[in-house]
Amino acid sequence: MSHEVASLETLSGMRAVVVGGASGMGLALARALVGRDARVMIGDIETGALDAAAAEIGVGAAVVDVSNRSSTAHFAGLAAAELGGVDLVITTAGVAMLGSLSDTERSDWDWLISVNLFGTINIVDFFVPHLRRTTGRLLITGSVAGVVPEAGMGAYAATKAAVGAYAEVLTEELAVDGIAVTLFLPGPVATRLGSSDRNRRGRPVTSRQETTSPDISDRRWISADDAAANALQALASGVALTTTHPEWREQVVSRHRRIEKSFD
């Protein structure tokens, strides 16, 4: 199946897959890509929101549970067949919960790790073979929380720190195949991430996490559209890492100063 030559600078003509594309940053990214004349397919675990998003922006869609390898493998094959190949993969699928580490149960850890870390690994495992055929691009969504972890978000931060390390190594390893990897580390974005338990199998997160949540009301929240614009600019520029919220710079610098000092 032929397709127009994709523009790396504008992302026009790219055959793009957005995982977690039914809402939040994923939907904003998919919408922006459509606006740039990319051909887009979205995947998500939330069927109703997925159908609504696909109808809104006029793209193909399929249900995928990124924590499940069989589901992810099926989705990757379906997307590649639907688009006639894959030039760009964006993964924004993720879940969060707030609460102290002492209140975080093993089942909570299993849920967070299965989606945030293993979900990312599954996407990479099953889409990289397609990207190798096109020397494509991959955007992995981490979080600034994985760089400057805070009390009340320990479990989430731990999974995002792992995602960040994984993505940075991928950047080096996939470069030999001509695949460019961008690690996206957003700060607070106004999405439905805080209600991730709506898609959790088994028991939902209980009030114990809610009552031990940190006060984040004073943080500057940006829109999903603004976050998406940042990510797409990074993709078009080919940079390996991008962030939002420049006001977090000093926290990042302070942490690294402490690490540097430990070598003295």
189 three-class SS: strand
Backbone conformation region of residue 119, classed left if phi is above 0, alpha if psi is from -120 to 50, else beta:
alpha
The rounded radius of gyration (Å) of the Cα atoms in the chain is 18
Distance of alpha carbon 114 from alpha carbon 68, whole angstroms: 8
How far apart CA 71 and CA 68 sit, in angstroms, is 5
Query: With the CA atoms of 69, 225, 182 and 137 taken in that order, what torsion angle do they form, in degrees rounded to the nearest 10?
Result: 70
Give the whole-angstrom CA distance, residue 91 versus residue 140.
5
The residue whose two tokens read 């792992």 is 162
> Is-contact 120 161, C-beta < 8 A?
no
What's the sign of the alpha-carbon dihedral 230, 231, 237, 240?
positive
CB 7 within 8 A of CB 13: yes
Q: Which residues are catalytic?
A: 143, 156, 160
C-alpha distances in Å from residue 172, one per residue of 111, 176, 179, 243: 29, 8, 10, 19
**118-132 vs 69-83: helix axis angle to the nearest 10?**
30
